[in-house]
Amino acid sequence: MSSLQEGDLILRGTRAPSRLQAARGTEKSAQGAEKPFQQVMDVSTGDPHRAGMKPVSFVRQVLAACVYPKLLDEKSLPLDARQRANTLLGVCSGRSVGSYSATAYGIPYVCKSVTEFIMRRDGGVSSNPEDIVISSGSTKTLLMVLHLMASGEGETRTGVLTPMPCPHTLPTLLNMAGLTLVPYQLLEDQGWAVELDELHRALRTTRGHCSPRAIYISNPGNPTGHVQDRKSIEEVIRFAATEGLVLLADEVYQDSVYGQGKESLSYKRVLFEMGKEYSKKVELVSFHSLSSACMGECGLRGAYMEAVNLDPAVMKYLRDAQAPSSPPVLPQLALEVMVNPPTPEDPSYKTYSQEILHSMTTLSQNAQRACEFLNDLSGIKCQPARGGIFLFPRLHLPPQMVEEAKMLGVEADVLYCQRLLEEEGVRLGAGCENGQVDPNFHIRLCVLAPSDTLDEILARLHSFHLRLLERFP
């Protein structure tokens, strides 16, 4: 497997050092000290375009023609892209992306396209436009829901069962909304699986401390790369049903399941296939986003949520929550293209499919290669990822470094990441940001990047890690 060999070469240092030296230049720090690298490579967050991944052409062609409608006649743009742009301009007031969104919860036509996507995805399970709310990013959408659930103080304060590790922005959002984070541990040795006993244990800890009202699930897992199977999803749904918890399903990376034998199954689909006992009862909010793996359009800021079984008054609140502001129009149009991509009879289908395939292949190969590379490093143990765009390897740090971190008043994983950044210009995420409070340390890296970029990052990490081991033998 060629990509793995490339990683191996780097590991043995026969090729990587020379590439590293080539990249090292004259970047100066604020203090004027010369840095041994030309630019910082940042894979601490899920921002694929920053790392060099390319946008999907069809999405950008449609948006360009929506932005500058003279391009509707521009023959160099594919016909279907121009036709789509024409259709989408038709759902903008005054045929301009410069008019306000028709409603605070999104353009009705886009909401409808979203439901059609969901129904196709879920084998025909019905979906209503009234259950969709579009916003400028899933952070925003989630925050609206969290704010809505906030109430009480002390024992009555709303608690949210939260996976450990969790998406690195989640602890901040829970805090902003005034909710209590109730941790449940994912099982690292089982590839970060969700375990029912652990959910029950976590729930018991809330007695006398807070009032648990929801459980947050990230599937495919951010930052773990775990992908739940049907049985695991059913267990969580039954747990939520029995305990009367709202299910908050972060399914932003639903388009990026690549583990062998793994499939992308939505909570909505499983819920509805479990029968009316569950599908009429369990309150579920599912989040999806333009920042998904294959789109990677983080900077556009577009996301939707689908909410089922919520009280109509609650739903009305969510649909009005963004008023008197309204979400930007362009990302809504991009969302429409994301959920309604070209089909085999469309001129853009071939290019579109090739681009998506390229992106998925890069992701899948990178995830495997980086995992094997990391596991070859002494003191690092990485669970293989089956989906999503992150790896979350465990660091067994030298005791002296842990001591040093204590003296400096920082977590040892933070110190590791700081030193890596200073010495090699690579920015990874410290595991403590993902809520980890166990005695083990972790780092977080996004592996959705061009393979040569990943090579470079791994090579720099390799150099740094070996020096660290030499320093603290």
Binding-site ranges for a copy of itself (CB under 8 A)? 45, 47-55, 57, 60-61, 63-65, 67-68, 70-71, 74, 76, 92-94, 96-101, 136-137, 139-140, 143, 169, 172-173, 295-301, 323-331
Pick 57 or 211: Cβ nearer a copy of itself: 57
Pick 55 or 163: Cβ nearer a copy of itself: 55
Closest separation between CB of residue 241 and a copy of itself, Å? 31
* Cβ atoms of 212 and 160 closer than 8 Å: yes
Closest separation between CB of residue 53 and a copy of itself, Å? 8
Angle at 323 between CA 319 and CA 328, to 5 degrees: 90
**CB-count burial class (<10 Å; 0-12, 13-18, 19+) for 409:** exposed
Nearest to 145 by CA among 69, 76, 213: 213
Pick 61 or 383: Cβ nearer a copy of itself: 61
The long-range contacts involving 168-173, CB below 8 angstroms and separated by at least 24 positions, are 168/45, 168/223, 168/429, 168/433, 168/434, 168/435, 168/444, 169/139, 170/216, 170/435, 171/433, 171/435, 173/139, 173/142, 173/143, 173/146
Strand 441-446, strand 158-164: pairing: unpaired
Closest separation between CB of residue 327 and a copy of itself, Å? 7
Pick 10 or 294: Cβ nearer a copy of itself: 294
Closest separation between CB of residue 407 and a copy of itself, Å? 28
DSSP code, position 28: B
Closest separation between CB of residue 426 and a copy of itself, Å? 15
Cα–Cα distance, 107 to 117 (Å, whole number):
16
Cα–Cα distance, 290 to 304 (Å, whole number):
9
Pick 94 or 344: Cβ nearer a copy of itself: 94
CB neighbours of 68 closer than 8 A, spacing ≥ 6?
none
* Cβ atoms of 182 and 158 closer than 8 Å: no
Pick 366 or 463: Cβ nearer a copy of itself: 366
Pick 16 or 295: Cβ nearer a copy of itself: 295
Closest separation between CB of residue 5 and a copy of itself, Å? 27
Nearest to 134 by CA among 341, 312, 329: 329
Closest separation between CB of residue 288 and a copy of itself, Å? 16
